[in-house]
Amino acid sequence: MLVVMQAHATDEQVRAVCQRIESMGYRAHAMPGAQRTAIGITGNKGEVEPGTLEEMAGVQELIRVSKPYKLVSRDVKEDNTVIRFSGTEATLGGPGLAVIAGPCAIESREQAFLVAERVCQAGAQFFRGGAYKPRTSPYSFQGLEEEGLRILAEIRQQFGMKIVTEAIDNESLELVEEYADVIQIGARNMQNFSLLKHAGRAKKPVLLKRGMSATLEEFLMAAEYVMSEGNYNVALCERGVRTFADHTRNTLDLSVVPAVQRVSHLPILVDPSHGTGKRNKVTPLSRAAVAVGADGLMVEVHHQPDQALSDGMQSLYPDQFDELMAQVRQIAPVVGRTVPGIGAHAPVAQALRRQASATTPAAH
Amino acid sequence: MLVVMQAHATDEQVRAVCQRIESMGYRAHAMPGAQRTAIGITGNKGEVEPGTLEEMAGVQELIRVSKPYKLVSRDVKEDNTVIRFSGTEATLGGPGLAVIAGPCAIESREQAFLVAERVCQAGAQFFRGGAYKPRTSPYSFQGLEEEGLRILAEIRQQFGMKIVTEAIDNESLELVEEYADVIQIGARNMQNFSLLKHAGRAKKPVLLKRGMSATLEEFLMAAEYVMSEGNYNVALCERGVRTFADHTRNTLDLSVVPAVQRVSHLPILVDPSHGTGKRNKVTPLSRAAVAVGADGLMVEVHHQPDQALSDGMQSLYPDQFDELMAQVRQIAPVVGRTVPGIGAHAPVAQALRRQASATTPAAH
Amino acid sequence: MLVVMQAHATDEQVRAVCQRIESMGYRAHAMPGAQRTAIGITGNKGEVEPGTLEEMAGVQELIRVSKPYKLVSRDVKEDNTVIRFSGTEATLGGPGLAVIAGPCAIESREQAFLVAERVCQAGAQFFRGGAYKPRTSPYSFQGLEEEGLRILAEIRQQFGMKIVTEAIDNESLELVEEYADVIQIGARNMQNFSLLKHAGRAKKPVLLKRGMSATLEEFLMAAEYVMSEGNYNVALCERGVRTFADHTRNTLDLSVVPAVQRVSHLPILVDPSHGTGKRNKVTPLSRAAVAVGADGLMVEVHHQPDQALSDGMQSLYPDQFDELMAQVRQIAPVVGRTVPGIGAHAPVAQALRRQASATTPAAH
Amino acid sequence: MLVVMQAHATDEQVRAVCQRIESMGYRAHAMPGAQRTAIGITGNKGEVEPGTLEEMAGVQELIRVSKPYKLVSRDVKEDNTVIRFSGTEATLGGPGLAVIAGPCAIESREQAFLVAERVCQAGAQFFRGGAYKPRTSPYSFQGLEEEGLRILAEIRQQFGMKIVTEAIDNESLELVEEYADVIQIGARNMQNFSLLKHAGRAKKPVLLKRGMSATLEEFLMAAEYVMSEGNYNVALCERGVRTFADHTRNTLDLSVVPAVQRVSHLPILVDPSHGTGKRNKVTPLSRAAVAVGADGLMVEVHHQPDQALSDGMQSLYPDQFDELMAQVRQIAPVVGRTVPGIGAHAPVAQALRRQASATTPAAH
């Protein structure tokens, strides 16, 4: 059930409707749009009994929602969700293309800083790097954990890039929320509903990756889990799905980008690194992702991919990432997107100057 | 790395080798077999430095293990793992076919008892029923939680069936470990490595379901996560994989049964209910699962499937389950398996007598 | 559109209705059943105009068929199709389990006879062997062509087994129709509609294998192509589908057996050799196929699999096929099937006697 | 086996080597490149016996080819294959983006001309339209056959666009070769090896679509079938593969474009119409296909998609195709491609003038 408020409804009227909904035992989710505010109702078992909601001041109409997803739907919120961050113009969603880059895993302070400097120079506004790594084998490197998060926080301070890193359980989620700017939920946890609910109670935005065999509806329902707990800052990320095809590690399904945009207001990014698993495919598929209309890219970069502790095969060399950014910058305007130039975000220029005059990060 | 002990090695010699391994900073996993004990070594980054292990008393040879899985492998333990339970002859693994039956979700004490009585009479030695339900939608019934676990514990007491139920996060895992006999890890959590590690520290056996798009190796590696923490009582369960085929909800991959048995000593069961998602396919595929050599079946049964709160489409009516058991009893001997008859396990007969002389469960 | 005749309608009445349908510009397909004859109408673009059909003598009712397949449907023919052959009790469909065995390709007279003798002794009533091989590489062995067909015809004469062999285009179809008893259409040609139509005009039964990524509906529609041209003797064969799973070459989808049987009257067999691509999986999956209710098995056997010109990896040794038959014989009765014993079909006993008293086939 | 000729080898030397190869019982395939000519050897069973080939005049070296595909490989021909046509600058392969557009099926002269006029104006250099339609149902519209081919030939004459149309068997192949400029082999026939060999003996270029579940290697081997018969003018076309994903009819696998380009010299186009099956996804995925580096697009356009006899759901309105071309024109230069403008190919301008001064096609 969805309560659509009148265009001129006051904040007080919205609040009153929300209170009435909560007093009926449901949850109210006010979603302000450019034209109107819509209030989603969840928490019902079976049909919502609307009572006298329709006659309250400021209410325009009640709409029954038949799709299984509600809060992620454009029915509830027509305008695109744009996730903003303090101290930067970078967004997830909106006209600016979000570029998230960095190594698969944070391996050391030196490694992280070397890569950060390069991706920052190339124009990335977000830095990625795993402190908690979900690895197929229990005997593989599992991440530096909190030490990794501390390194990431330093990188934000030095370079001004916002930090995106993965939480793999409720314990790591609390720490990620504390240190990072965006909480990543990985493909393997896309239907770890307990984790999704916890992320829904976090104060930081969530980047939710598509599961390896998730349908569009399951993907959206996973986002709905997060939103249903009150965290409306969710961005989605396509990262390839499992098929019989063996020339890439996964099959990158770019058609999901317009498919998401058609039914949902949430931003949708693309990860061509996991999506192909092969370094030589990352740049062409990045171009394609921007051309198809994605809201951003998530790319793995490593200064020594052949010595990476995880996923080296798919990591770009920094020079290759420069080239990727150069190509993407040319395609973005065609689809009405802007891409930040070198030093485009103010703190970066400063950081790079500081960096230049400082000793090398290894010496810190 | 694997230390193979001599056939006549003493317990003391095994202990000494384990201590030496631990003192080297690794973990030792002693796996006694019919002929010999093998000791798996994990916890190494890179190669294990064997030092003087080879010369210790009772050691026959050291074997380098090149497969990514170790403890699940037949290289480490040649004999089939048989998981035993107190107070019953039912096992997971071994010549007896394990039959796990019950509703998808525990909906009420009455529902649970009605179904339990019927599946117990039909010969099921294990009762299944979800107290915590991982549902695609946050607005669907999520289970009775601890109340559901209490009902399950009552069913064990009344009918003597062992209880199998799913844990969906670390919190529910603790409660499931307390109330149930087997901790189920669902398909969606097959690569929730944090949960797997916690299950590896639990004292109860684990039933691990195959993920929807898991390869054989990923499936075995998930079991390796549990075992690497010290819990060697792991049973696997095939439940269908995601494909393009749309005449069933999932495509049941029965070939994984002989594939697992070839490389691993762990029991492998089959869930034809989730594996097909259609009631009319459950019995034929149960016959096929027994014929292919599965160690057991996991079947959903509901007394009123059309009113079930989840997965009613795939639940059998109790009469259909009787028929399934009758058919399975005929096929099992062909593959050298026994199936318990009606009242075959002692507590059941008593329970049914008690039950018969008592008021109906609805009246409790 | 379907014309259902009365139970006591005469042949003359059926003929009259068929003539009326043809005179209306459609095609009539009379399908006699145990209780009644149904007449399928095809050849219409858009709706069939029934005119006065309903009032003709012997007509009980007209039924509009909404499913895309008509002639393959149980709506048109309730009873199972049983394909019979002269001079043998072996059938495709019916209570007897059809066993088709032989090498992937006919490589030489000697090889074919050696294998034929063994599979005949073990109880196979049908001999398979490719004379025309659809190979992924143009540089691989493409079959002995007509010479291979001649060898197959000799095998029929010597052993009494009926011959199943693949046609790969319209030219080979004519020859296969001339020499063999069953025309096989391979998985790669399941949607070669031109070939299907030609097979529909042939006088011999057709064994149609499921395409590697065919849905149930596409599989049935391919059979409909054959039937729509007037050849109603079609048997289907599941042989595995393409999925991400890599422990077998294909994923054998046994659930398609009950799925076909639910909506269609056509026999459905299973090929566990192509369905798994691995010798050690063939016997377990054969047991499973019989247990699930398949109408028959198609199994590759070779006397020297490691030297086979194609698909040696998945071919059984003759001794393994003996063992397979022994196991299958025990499971078949559980699902109400009979399996011919050694020498069960009369010509076999004779053939084997002849064979025993003759020189070895190599010497012929 | 591959014979690499010296840079300055004469035609006569090449011919002499080819003759020697043929006289040894093999087939020789001379592939002239920018720097050198390479001669592929096929027709061998087992290893090629090189004899004295290496010592012949003009021979630089012999290379053993270990990949299953030879003639399609960049090892044999380093430079990209560019397929040229008389009377137009349009190519398949090369710097110009090939745009093939038109209706799924030729339904009538009027329909074909209406669509042709619009796609020609928009810049398409190739016109597509099925005269022979491989349809899932035998009762669906199967195409106008030779009448359709005649209409296509008229369109070439009127508009100067080259004609691409599908052959579905050996009979239709002969007619398609006669009337059309490019022989299309559809996805369902990608492993119809008999048809591929016939196409390999045709004098016209072949456009080979990827099968629904074809791996990269199978796709290339299908092209190898055509080339092994002597027809080296083969272009490939990705059109989506079968997966579990249900938001599009197929999953368009754009990563296959750089994958093909890495190992093969053949052009690779993309068909976003079949690749998505949904009109609203065609334009975004066309942008992505050009951005990823495809050599061309194949797009379905219909003037009344809702009344199309086949695949109307995925056909663009002519106005949408104009918009698609406008967007593609902006992206192409970024990847170093040119796209013909309106009236770019000379005959078009004339045709459009003729068309403008003529009566409407319906009146013909």
User: Does the pLDDT of residue B318 top 90, yes or no?
Assistant: yes
Nearest to D246 among A215, A246, A248 (CB): A215
- Interchain CB distance below 8 Å, B258 and C284: yes
pLDDT category of residue B341 using cuts at 50, 70 and 90: low
User: C252 CA to chain A: closest CA distance, Å?
Assistant: 14
Find the residue in C nearest to B277 (Cα): C255
- Residue whose token pair is 């949960």: B195
Kindly report the CATH number that applies to the domain delimited by A83-354: 3.20.20.70
> Residue D346: helix, strand or coil by DSSP?
helix
Quick one: chain D helix, strand, coil %, rounded to 5? 40, 20, 40
pLDDT, one tens digit per residue, over A94-103 is 999 999 999 9
- Interchain CB distance below 8 Å, D192 and C169: yes
Structure tokens at C247: 């422990």
Q: Look at residue C345 in the predicted model and tell me its pLDDT.
A: 46
CB atoms within 10 A of CB C52: 8
Task: Judge whether A139 is closer than 8 Å to chain C, CB to CB.
Answer: no
User: B281 CA to chain C: closest CA distance, Å?
Assistant: 7
- Residues of chain C with C-beta less than 8 angstroms from the C-beta of A243: 244
Given a contact cutoff of 8 angstroms between Cβ atoms, the answer to whether D31 and D37 are in contact is yes
Number of C/D CB contacts below 8 angstroms equals: 94
Given a contact cutoff of 8 angstroms between Cβ atoms, the answer to whether D277 and D290 are in contact is no
CB atoms within 10 A of CB C313: 15
Nearest one of B125, B93, B163 to B347, comparing CA atoms: B125
- Residues of chain B with C-beta less than 8 angstroms from the C-beta of A242: 213, 242
Please state, rounded to an integer, the average pLDDT across all residues of chain D.
90
Q: Look at residue A219 in the predicted model and tell me its pLDDT.
A: 98
Given a contact cutoff of 8 angstroms between Cβ atoms, the answer to whether A237 and A224 are in contact is no
- Residues of chain A with C-beta less than 8 angstroms from the C-beta of C242: 244
Question: ipTM of the assembly?
Answer: 0.88
Going by their DSSP bridges, the two strands A37-42 and A2-5 should be labelled as: antiparallel
* Domain segments of chain A as ranges: 2-63, 83-354
**b/e sequence C101-113, b meaning 16+ C-beta within 10 Å:** bbbbbbbebebbb
Given a contact cutoff of 8 angstroms between Cβ atoms, the answer to whether B332 and B288 are in contact is no
Nearest to B192 among A43, A172, A192 (CB): A192
pLDDT, one tens digit per residue, over D276-304 is 999 999 999 999 999 999 999 999 999 99
- Residue whose token pair is 């490197």: A141
CB atoms within 10 A of CB D165: 27
Residue by residue, what is the 3-state secondary structure of C40-94? EEECCCCCCCCCCHHHCCCEEEEECCCCCCCCCECCCCCCCCCEECCCCCCEECC
Nearest to A255 among D276, D290, D292 (CB): D276
A partners (3+ CB pairs within 8 A) are B, C, D
Angle B170-179/B193-200 helices, nearest 10 degrees? 30
Nearest to A285 among D246, D254, D284 (CB): D254
- Residues of chain B with C-beta less than 8 angstroms from the C-beta of C293: 284, 287
**b/e sequence B96-111, b meaning 16+ C-beta within 10 Å:** bbbbbbbbbbbbebeb
Nearest to B242 among A170, A192, A213 (CB): A213
- Interchain CB distance below 8 Å, D216 and A246: yes
Q: What does DSSP assign to residue D184? A: E
Q: Which residues contact C16 (CB under 8 A, 6 or more apart)?
A: C56, C57, C58
CB atoms within 10 A of CB A157: 11
Task: Judge whether D326 is closer than 8 Å to chain A, CB to CB.
Answer: no
**Which portions of chain A are predicted below pLDDT 50?**
343-349, 352-353, 356, 358-364
User: Does the pLDDT of residue B358 top 50, yes or no?
Assistant: no
CB atoms within 10 A of CB C307: 10
Distance CA A281, CA D259 (A): 8
Number of B/D CB contacts below 8 angstroms equals: 5
Cβ within 8 Å of C, D 226-285: 228-229, 241-242
User: A20 CA to chain C: closest CA distance, Å?
Assistant: 49
Nearest to B213 among A171, A224, A242 (CB): A242
CB atoms within 10 A of CB B270: 31
Average pLDDT over residues D198-213: 97
- Residues of chain A with C-beta less than 8 angstroms from the C-beta of C247: none
Find the residue in D nearest to C172 (Cα): D194
Kindly report the CATH number that applies to the domain delimited by A2-63: 3.30.70.1140
Find the residue in D nearest to A289 (Cα): D288
Which ranges constitute the DSSP H helices of A142-242? 146-159, 170-179, 193-200, 216-228
B partners (3+ CB pairs within 8 A) are A, C, D
Q: What does DSSP assign to residue A1? A: -
Helix (DSSP H) and strand (DSSP E) numbers for chain A: 11, 14
Q: What does DSSP assign to residue C154? A: H
User: A65 CA to chain B: closest CA distance, Å?
Assistant: 13
Average pLDDT over residues B313-327: 96
User: B242 CA to chain C: closest CA distance, Å?
Assistant: 8
pLDDT category of residue D149 using cuts at 50, 70 and 90: very high
Number of B/C CB contacts below 8 angstroms equals: 123
How many Cα atoms occupy the beta-carbon half-sphere of B61 within 13 Å?
5
Query: What's at D205, amino acid-wise?
Result: P
Find the residue in B nearest to C328 (Cα): B334
- Residues of chain A with C-beta less than 8 angstroms from the C-beta of D255: 247-248, 251-252, 275-276, 281, 284-285
Distance CA C315, CA C296 (A): 18
pLDDT, one tens digit per residue, over D83-100 is 999 999 999 999 999 999
Given a contact cutoff of 8 angstroms between Cβ atoms, the answer to whether B289 and B253 are in contact is no
User: Does the pLDDT of residue D10 top 50, yes or no?
Assistant: yes
Q: Look at residue C319 in the predicted model and tell me its pLDDT.
A: 97
Structure tokens at B64: 């380098």
CB-based burial label for D47 (10 Å; 0-12, 13-18, 19+): exposed
Q: Which residues contact D181 (CB under 8 A, 6 or more apart)?
A: D85, D126, D156, D162, D163, D164, D204, D205
Q: Specify whether the backbone of C311 is left (phi greater than 0), alpha (psi in -120 to 50) or beta.
A: left
Residue by residue, what is the 3-state secondary structure of D110-166? HHHHHHHHHHHHHCCCEEECECCCCCCCCCCCCCCCHHHHHHHHHHHHHHCCEEEEE
Q: Look at residue A63 in the predicted model and tell me its pLDDT.
A: 81
Q: Give me the tens of pLDDT residue by residue for chain C, a chain 364 residues long.
A: 889 899 899 999 999 999 999 998 888 988 887 788 889 888 776 677 787 888 899 998 888 877 788 899 998 898 999 999 999 999 999 999 999 999 999 999 999 999 999 999 999 999 999 999 999 888 888 899 999 999 999 999 999 999 999 999 999 999 999 999 999 999 999 999 999 999 999 999 999 999 999 999 999 999 999 999 999 999 999 999 999 999 999 999 999 999 999 999 999 999 999 999 999 999 999 999 999 999 999 999 999 998 888 878 899 999 999 999 999 999 999 999 999 765 444 444 455 445 545 444 433 3
User: A59 CA to chain B: closest CA distance, Å?
Assistant: 24
pLDDT, one tens digit per residue, over B165-192 is 999 999 999 999 999 999 999 999 999 9
Q: Look at residue B347 in the predicted model and tell me its pLDDT.
A: 45
Q: Look at residue A342 in the predicted model and tell me its pLDDT.
A: 54
Q: Which phi and psi angles does C96 have, rounded to 5°?
A: -80, 135
User: D207 CA to chain B: closest CA distance, Å?
Assistant: 26
Which ranges constitute the DSSP H helices of A160-278? 170-179, 193-200, 216-228, 256-263, 272-276
- Residue whose token pair is 């770009």: A316
Find the residue in D nearest to B242 (Cα): D244
Q: Look at residue A349 in the predicted model and tell me its pLDDT.
A: 45
- Residue whose token pair is 């916690």: B198
pTM of the model: 0.90
Distance CA D241, CA D166 (A): 19
Distance of CA C53 to the CA centre of its chain: 35
